[in-house]
Amino acid sequence: MPTILGQNQYGKAENRLVKVVRDGDTHHIKDLSVSVALSGDLDEVHYSGSNAHVLPTDTAKNTVYAFAKEHGIASAEAFGLLLARHFVESTEPIQRARIRVEEYAWERIAPGAGEHAHSFVRTGRETRLAQITYDGEGFEVLSGLKDLTVMNTTASEFWGYIKDRYTTLREDYDRILATSVTSWWRHSWDGGAAQPETEPETGRETEPEPDWDACYARTREHLLRAFADTYSLSLQQTLYQMGSRVLESRAELDEIRFSMPNKHHFQQDLSFCGIENQAKDGAVYHAADRPYGLIEATVLRDGARARIPVDLTNL
């Protein structure tokens, strides 16, 4: 046979799931999109079409809903851990499961005195992300976010760059810096896989799960504050400050990767009609769509191994 099968996986993507928890009259909700990808001993389904080793993607979908009801959704990460382990441990040919979760944020209508117990409005803020991979030995847990759109209206410069035949850009000492952050960060926690010899009896129990929700909230806060606090000479510098702030503040994280478009805001030239439009006086900007700068980088704890894929956006 002149051709062979390489890496492969399959599953059900974008299971849209809302779970309501009733605590007396007070309701709580989780609003998720859950994607399952499975791999293992699956050569034959590719070579001959035999489905003997295939758990249908329809079953994966049913499992997601059933697990949400049976086990609840403590957090995006905790739910992913349950699902990933289930698929590998319950289905013999499946040797690896990857669960990706998107979570959409809602808040109560009229918080405060008139707060409603079962009425919600979607906030529209960034989408929370989680990816859990299990291979029968240990877990890899990534958390992240996308569409966190931020802007500094000053405290950003760009100058001192290479000029060549094709350079027309003018140096700028007071520009808008805006981006829409996509970021993934990796937890060192692996469910205990790393130390099987040293504590053979207790196994995974020696490493309790981190508080995923608290970690997310703090990381988000660090990202925002680092973006705001950095007097920026380049978007790369801001990115690195955001990454290092997160790793320095969250000991449980080893690595963080960013994909940050430079959402250009061009100062409109109004001199044609005699109007000065200077940043120092408060200016008018054209918010451009395309093309856009795109800055991507990983920040690592010294000694850690980079494991987050380099391509966070479409190939």
Does the protein bind its own copies through residue 217 (CB under 8 A)?
no
Question: In the set 41, 118, 214, 217, which binds its own copies (CB under 8 A)?
Answer: 118
Question: Would you call 179 a catalytic residue per the annotation?
Answer: no
Only one residue has tokens 């905790």, namely: 78
Question: Would you call 30 a catalytic residue per the annotation?
Answer: no
For residues 197 and 302, which CB has a smaller minimum distance to its own copies in the complex?
A: 302
Question: In the set 95, 188, 195, 236, which binds its own copies (CB under 8 A)?
Answer: 236
CA distance 134 to 89: 10
**Least separation in angstroms between CB 256 and its own copies:** 9
Question: Would you call 187 a catalytic residue per the annotation?
Answer: no
Count of CB atoms situated within 10 Å of the CB of 197: 6
Tell me which residue of 173, 171, 175 sits closest to 162, measured CA to CA: 171
57 is in an annotated binding site: yes
For residues 85 and 204, which CB has a smaller minimum distance to its own copies in the complex?
A: 85
For residues 204 and 244, which CB has a smaller minimum distance to its own copies in the complex?
A: 244
Beta strands in 153-281 (DSSP E): 177-187, 253-262, 265-267
Active-site pick, 57, 91, 127, 153: 57
Beta bridge partners of 32: 17, 103
Does the protein bind its own copies through residue 243 (CB under 8 A)?
yes
How many residues are recorded in the chain? 315
Collapse the DSSP code of 290 into the 3-class scheme (helix H, G, I; strand E, B; otherwise coil) and give the result.
coil
For residues 194 and 284, which CB has a smaller minimum distance to its own copies in the complex?
A: 284
Does the protein bind its own copies through residue 225 (CB under 8 A)?
yes
For residues 204 and 218, which CB has a smaller minimum distance to its own copies in the complex?
A: 218
CA distance 305 to 302: 9
Does the protein bind its own copies through residue 159 (CB under 8 A)?
yes
Active-site pick, 12, 61, 222, 263: 12
Does the protein bind its own copies through residue 89 (CB under 8 A)?
no
Question: In the set 47, 89, 137, 214, which binds its own copies (CB under 8 A)?
Answer: 47
Structure tokens at 235: 């978007």
Question: In the set 74, 82, 193, 297, which binds its own copies (CB under 8 A)?
Answer: 297
CA distance 80 to 100: 7
CA distance 10 to 128: 23
Collapse the DSSP code of 72 into the 3-class scheme (helix H, G, I; strand E, B; otherwise coil) and give the result.
coil
Structure tokens at 309: 């894929």
Q: Known catalytic residues?
A: 12, 57, 264
Binding positions for urate are 57-58, 158, 175, 236, 262
